[in-house]
């Protein structure tokens, strides 16, 4: 019998397959089903740092009474937070799998106190979806990176539960950046987030959103960095995300060094019950390759076995293109 259990964020997961933060995890009923289908954990839909401000602002545009504005502002804010905390609390009452809360944030602010509230509501861990888009020529990269460090430091001061940071793909020196996150207390990184992607409609001559769901090809970049980070920043855990659409992709990410994987688009496309297929096929592959436990093969193909990853990648690059006639 294959043992799928893994450890992630200090939690024992019965399977390495986590359902990523999205509309798939925004209600207790959905989370109960995800557990039934075999999910190892769920990351709840994110609460946005500015969500309450924005909602309040749009409601108050026509309001001439400042006291009413204050009341409404507090009401909307509490309601959003209250709803989120109830989701954590009720999910924890109904399921046995770990429930990871998620915040989408851009800066250190009042919202940081939410980390403590999430912990008190029973969240097993917190995932920070930090999205800082560099748009200014005035600031160098260090200034943007410092923002991430400040957020992790502030959140770790606020809560004792483990913290994962879900990152975008574009950093100059990801190993050093992630090592700095680790030094500030981050327990794991999720590689990678998939941000809003723009497209252009040339008939209407306007911007449109590109497909919200990923494609299986998008696993490539994540696979490289999971392999590299898990071997050079060994102290931090790595969770793979983006482009995991089938059981082969799950297996590849585990071989590359992921402690666990997150799936999202694949469940939107195939239905949440697709977790069962992913799990069954993972077990079949383990049986075929005589692995009793997932732990036996996590990281088997990470970059540790490669003496110099830089030289390796360069030689692969040269081979890749020079072989093609």
Ligand X SMILES: Cc1cc2nc3c(=O)[nH]c(=O)nc-3n(C[C@H](O)[C@H](O)[C@H](O)COP(=O)(O)O)c2cc1C
Residues that bind ligand X (CB under 6 A): 20-23, 45-46, 102, 104, 129, 166, 193-194, 212-214, 241-244, 263-266, 268
Select from 96, 158, 98, 90 the least CA-distant residue to 121: 90
**Shortest distance, position 313 Cβ to ligand X, whole Å:** 23
CB 255 within 8 A of CB 285: no
Cα atoms found within 13 Å of the Cα of residue 276, Cβ hemisphere only: 7
CB 14 within 8 A of CB 40: yes
Residue whose CB is less far from ligand X, 48 or 149:
48
**Shortest distance, position 222 Cβ to ligand X, whole Å:** 9
Residue whose CB is less far from ligand X, 127 or 145:
127
Residue whose CB is less far from ligand X, 45 or 156:
45
Give the C-alpha separation, 14 to 8, whole Å. Answer: 11
**Shortest distance, position 140 Cβ to ligand X, whole Å:** 27
Select from 15, 11, 9, 10 the least CA-distant residue to 295: 15
CB 27 within 8 A of CB 8: no
CB 219 within 8 A of CB 168: no
Could you tell me whether strands 198-201 and 206-209 are parallel, antiparallel, or unpaired per DSSP bridges? antiparallel
**Shortest distance, position 20 Cβ to ligand X, whole Å:** 3
Give the C-alpha separation, 263 to 265, whole Å. Answer: 7
Residue whose CB is less far from ligand X, 237 or 311:
237
Which residues lie below 8 Å from residue 305, measured CB to CB, with a gap of 6+?
none
For the chain, the maximum distance between any two Cα atoms, rounded to a whole number of angstroms, is 73
Residue whose CB is less far from ligand X, 56 or 214:
214
251 phi, psi to nearest 5 deg: -65, -45
**Shortest distance, position 266 Cβ to ligand X, whole Å:** 6
Residue whose CB is less far from ligand X, 11 or 167:
167
Residue whose CB is less far from ligand X, 171 or 268:
268
**Shortest distance, position 246 Cβ to ligand X, whole Å:** 11
Residue 11: strand pairing partners: 8
Two structure tokens written together for 106 = 């851009």
Give the C-alpha separation, 53 to 56, whole Å. Answer: 5
**Where is 91: in which H helix or E strand?**
helix 66-94
DSSP 184-210: TT--EEEE------EEEETTTTEEEE-
Residue whose CB is less far from ligand X, 46 or 279:
46
**Shortest distance, position 322 Cβ to ligand X, whole Å:** 32
**Shortest distance, position 319 Cβ to ligand X, whole Å:** 28
Residue whose CB is less far from ligand X, 66 or 237:
237
**Shortest distance, position 190 Cβ to ligand X, whole Å:** 7
């Amino acid at each position: 019998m294959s043992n799928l259990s893994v450890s992630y964020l200090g939690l024992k997961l019965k399977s390495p397959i986590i359902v990523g933060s999205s509309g798939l995890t925004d209600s207790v009923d959905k989370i109960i089903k995800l557990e039934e289908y075999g999910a190892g954990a769920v990351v709840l839909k994110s609460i946005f740092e500015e969500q309450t401000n924005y909602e309040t602002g749009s409601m108050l545009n026509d309001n001439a009474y400042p006291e009413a504005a204050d009341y409404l502002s507090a009401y909307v804010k509490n309601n959003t937070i209250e709803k989120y905390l109830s989701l954590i609390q009720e999910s924890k009452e109904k399921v046995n799998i770990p429930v990871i809360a998620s915040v989408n944030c851009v800066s250190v602010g009042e919202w940081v106190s939410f980390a403590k509230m999430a912990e008190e509501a029973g969240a097993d861990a917190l995932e920070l979806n930090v999205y800082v888009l560099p748009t200014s020529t005035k600031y160098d990269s260090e200034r943007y990176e410092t923002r991430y460090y400040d957020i992790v430091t502030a959140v770790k001061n606020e809560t004792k539960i483990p913290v994962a940071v879900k990152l975008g793909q574009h950093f100059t020196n990801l190993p050093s950046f992630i090592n700095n996150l680790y030094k500030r207390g981050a327990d794991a990184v999720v590689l990678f987030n998939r941000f809003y992607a723009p497209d252009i409609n040339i008939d209407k001559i306007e911007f449109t959103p590109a497909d919200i769901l990923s494609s299986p090809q998008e696993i490539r970049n994540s696979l490289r960095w999971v392999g590299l980070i898990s071997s050079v920043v060994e102290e931090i855990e790595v969770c793979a995300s983006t482009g995991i659409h089938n059981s082969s992709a799950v297996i590849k990410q585990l071989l590359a060094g992921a402690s666990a994987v997150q799936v999202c688009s694949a469940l939107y496309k195939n239905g949440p019950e697709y977790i069962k297929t992913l799990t069954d096929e993972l077990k079949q592959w383990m049986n075929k390759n005589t692995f009793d436990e997932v732990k036996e093969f996590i990281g088997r193909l990470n970059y540790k076995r490669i003496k110099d990853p830089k030289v390796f990648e360069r030689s692969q690059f040269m081979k890749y293109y020079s072989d093609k006639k």
